[in-house]
Structure 1
Amino acid sequence: MLNAKVTAPGSGRIGVLIVNLGTPEATSYWPMRRYLKEFLSDPRVVETNRLLWWLILNGIILTTRPKRSGHAYEKIWNRELNESPLMTITRSQAERIGAQFRDDGRILVDWGMRYGLPPVGERLKALKERGCDRILVFPLYPQYSAATTATVADKVFETMEALRWQPALRFVPPYFAEPGHIAALAQSVRDHLKTLSFAPELIFASYHGLPESYVEAGDPYYGHCRQTTLLLREALGLPENRLQMVFQSRFGKAEWIKPYAQDMVADLPAKGVRNLVMIMPGFAADCVETLEEVAIGLKETFLEKGGVNFSTVPCLNDSDGSITMLTGLIRQELAGWL
């Protein structure tokens, strides 16, 4: 006779876990330090000698960068809810997607962050405890990179290692070339341009940067960004010289993939470009990189160099077009389970 409690079979529910990068809990020094330490300690994010990096991270970066990063977050902080816009938007995305499945009691939608709160592992366990014996994980990164998509998988599998009864897992693939994603991006550009009092001579599609060494090692990220840009350009009917790809958020002294957004934006006024629009197709939700680095920082650079008009297209966020597109991708992956 078994002395241990025999666990009953699962309820047959399916969990969907929406995952984004993460956010600090507050803009002050210690919350920023905790967040940055978790993020920058990930060997997928910083691929270098671990001992040397530990010394640099703990001896230099974590003593200086929390204050600077906190200042950036202060500029865009959601003061009403006392949280970052990324958390506000990701929560809303999950709630609105969950509403699309409300009539199907088998499907539960939750959300988590790879770094910071709420932790991916905690939300996976919560879905399992609610009877989900199958879980679809959706990393909200349109373009794949080991530094983003793969590290979500790492955390998911790390959580699974501690479970005796593991749910079946699936991941939504990168959606950089999905027709629904391209259509939603293109429509967001059209809608935004209608609100402007000027016509841009140029549109920059800006993506988060990545060290060149990562791409040389086999990371497909650069190719995915190029493909998204090409398809977006075609959807908008624009020539190559009207919609160009750039990369932002460079960190450290290594060579990163080019062209650099900061340099390109600074050079435009001297080349006769006075009106610029930027869109960030690699971000599913507005965050410090889009709201502070681009909408505030690069705007200041452009105007200081002689530019006249600058505007950013909001990320797809929790718009109707975004929710329709994300829900469609989820339904595609759930088809074999329903």
Structure 2
Amino acid sequence: MKIGILLTNIGTPDAPTKASLRRYLSEFLSDSRVVNFPIKFKFIWWLVLNVVILNTRPKKSAQNYAKIWDRIGIGSPLLSITKLQLQGVKKTLLERHKNLVFEMGMRYGNPSISSALNKLRNQDCERIIVLPLYPQYSNTTTLSTLDVINQVLNNSCAKKPEIIFIENYCYNDDYIQSLTNTVLEHQIKHGKPNKLIISFHGIPQRYIDNGDIYYDHCVGTAKLLAKKLDLNKSDYLFSFQSIFSREPWTKPQTKERLKTLACDGVEHIQVICPGFSADCLETLEEIECENRNYFIQSGGRQFSYIPALNDRDDHIEMLSKLISNYL
């Protein structure tokens, strides 16, 4: 039996241009899993998105993407890294298993999940193992990915392959160990900080109130990492970044943490973002550039970002083992 392996991630614009960002943001912000308002507010959101946001935000976003474009490989860092991850997983698994076919797909932008699924089906894969590269489950990311997969399969008259969908891996021992390894290696080069900030992408608080388990997964990940690093409660802080709208989002916010720490005289901090399997705009521009400047301008002295797991050997091995459980 031929088995397909599909790695997915959030996505990226095709280029750091206003036009590309407009297309990308339109698709991203039109996803009801990402922006989930009651039905009576959906038309209002449509107006806000198409009249205001898509006519103002793409230019600024394009400027931010331009700062990190070609920084890792050629083009989008997220896309470049995901390709390397796919190559690594493919090489590792083909040494141990036969009849495997590999593809990658992005929830928004290119290459799409739809095109990746169709490629696997055209190669007669009877089973497809889908691994969204989101360690912590959220309706805004993981479930949105499953929505697309179901939509593609339900819109086809062809025989449906068996789908094995890996929902999360935030408590996986090898994942926590990989995070631990990257922190320790970073600190060998840059020293130990006064405080380690463990930062996750934020989501609206009402999503958590309505049952999204993302917050619990983030807290659990932070605690496991801190335990593995043998940190005291005073050695680290937990926070959320990338706040988008004015409504209440998950707290505490990373920016507020940075300002408070700097004002309290904390001079040296390091930030790790365990929710990002690959470095991207939110880590390379928002954390490493914008938040670094914010901390220094608030009175801090030394700031360093600990890179995502990307295509580290231990990360590739962890992802491969995770998939192997279903082979």
The reply to whether TM is greater than 0.5 is: yes
Asked if the contact 1:246/1:258 (under 8 Å) is kept, the reply is yes
Looking at structure 1, the residues matched to 243 and 72 of structure 2 have their Cα atoms a distance apart, in angstroms, of: 31
Identity over aligned pairs, percent: 39
Greater CA deviation, 100-109 or 15-24?
100-109
1:62: how far off? 0.2
- Which residue number in structure 2 is paired with residue 175 of structure 1? 169
Q: Which amino acid aligns with 2:65?
A: Y
1:162: how far off? 1.9
- Which residue number in structure 2 is paired with residue 189 of structure 1? 183
1:199: how far off? 2.7
Query: What do residues 296-317 of structure 1 show as CA deviations (whole Å, max 9, x unaligned)?
Result: 0100001111111100110000
Query: What do residues 141-190 of structure 1 show as CA deviations (whole Å, max 9, x unaligned)?
Result: 00010000000000000100122211110111311111111011011100
2:315 matched to 1:322? yes
TM-score (norm 2): 0.96
The partner residue of 2:18 within 21, 29, 32 is 29
Asked if the contact 1:137/1:170 (under 8 Å) is kept, the reply is yes
Query: What do residues 214-238 of structure 1 show as CA deviations (whole Å, max 9, x unaligned)?
Result: 0000000000000000000000000
1:130-209 alignment runs, 5 A limit = 130-164=123-157, 165-196=159-190, 198-209=191-202
Looking at structure 2, the residues matched to 231 and 82 of structure 1 have their Cα atoms a distance apart, in angstroms, of: 35
2:255 matched to 1:262? yes
The partner residue of 2:62 within 66, 70, 79 is 70
1:267: how far off? 1.7
Q: Which amino acid aligns with 1:20?
A: N
Asked if the contact 1:75/1:292 (under 8 Å) is kept, the reply is yes
2:31 matched to 1:42? yes
Corresponding residue SS for 1:132: coil
- Which residue number in structure 1 is paired with residue 232 of structure 2? 239
Asked if the contact 1:247/1:261 (under 8 Å) is kept, the reply is yes
Asked if the contact 1:172/1:333 (under 8 Å) is kept, the reply is no
Q: Which amino acid aligns with 1:230?
A: K
Looking at structure 1, the residues matched to 315 and 241 of structure 2 have their Cα atoms a distance apart, in angstroms, of: 23
Q: Which amino acid aligns with 2:75?
A: E
Query: What do residues 73-115 of structure 1 show as CA deviations (whole Å, max 9, x unaligned)?
Result: 0111016864210000001100110011224331112111000
Superposition CA RMSD, Å: 1.1
The partner residue of 2:9 within 14, 20, 36 is 20
Asked if the contact 1:209/1:257 (under 8 Å) is kept, the reply is yes
Greater CA deviation, 74-83 or 296-305?
74-83
Looking at structure 2, the residues matched to 333 and 255 of structure 1 have their Cα atoms a distance apart, in angstroms, of: 39
Corresponding residue SS for 1:325: helix
Asked if the contact 2:265/2:299 (under 8 Å) is kept, the reply is no
Looking at structure 2, the residues matched to 266 and 252 of structure 1 have their Cα atoms a distance apart, in angstroms, of: 20
1:274: how far off? 0.2
Corresponding residue SS for 2:126: strand
Corresponding residue SS for 2:10: strand
2:117 matched to 1:94? no
Looking at structure 2, the residues matched to 80 and 292 of structure 1 have their Cα atoms a distance apart, in angstroms, of: 13
The partner residue of 1:213 within 195, 206, 223 is 206
Query: What do residues 96-137 of structure 1 show as CA deviations (whole Å, max 9, x unaligned)?
Result: 100112243311121110000001011001011112110011
Q: Unaligned stretches of 5+ in structure 1?
A: 1-11
Corresponding residue SS for 1:333: coil
Asked if the contact 2:255/2:291 (under 8 Å) is kept, the reply is yes
Looking at structure 1, the residues matched to 14 and 213 of structure 2 have their Cα atoms a distance apart, in angstroms, of: 32
1:54: how far off? 0.4
Asked if the contact 2:16/2:62 (under 8 Å) is kept, the reply is yes
Asked if the contact 2:142/2:167 (under 8 Å) is kept, the reply is no
Asked if the contact 1:19/1:140 (under 8 Å) is kept, the reply is yes
Query: What do residues 256-287 of structure 1 show as CA deviations (whole Å, max 9, x unaligned)?
Result: 01001111111212112100000000000000
TM-score (norm 1): 0.93
Q: Tell me the matched-pair count.
A: 322
1:333: how far off? 2.5
- Which residue number in structure 2 is paired with residue 56 of structure 1? 48
Looking at structure 1, the residues matched to 234 and 124 of structure 2 have their Cα atoms a distance apart, in angstroms, of: 53
Q: Unaligned stretches of 5+ in structure 2?
A: none
The partner residue of 1:288 within 281, 298, 303 is 281
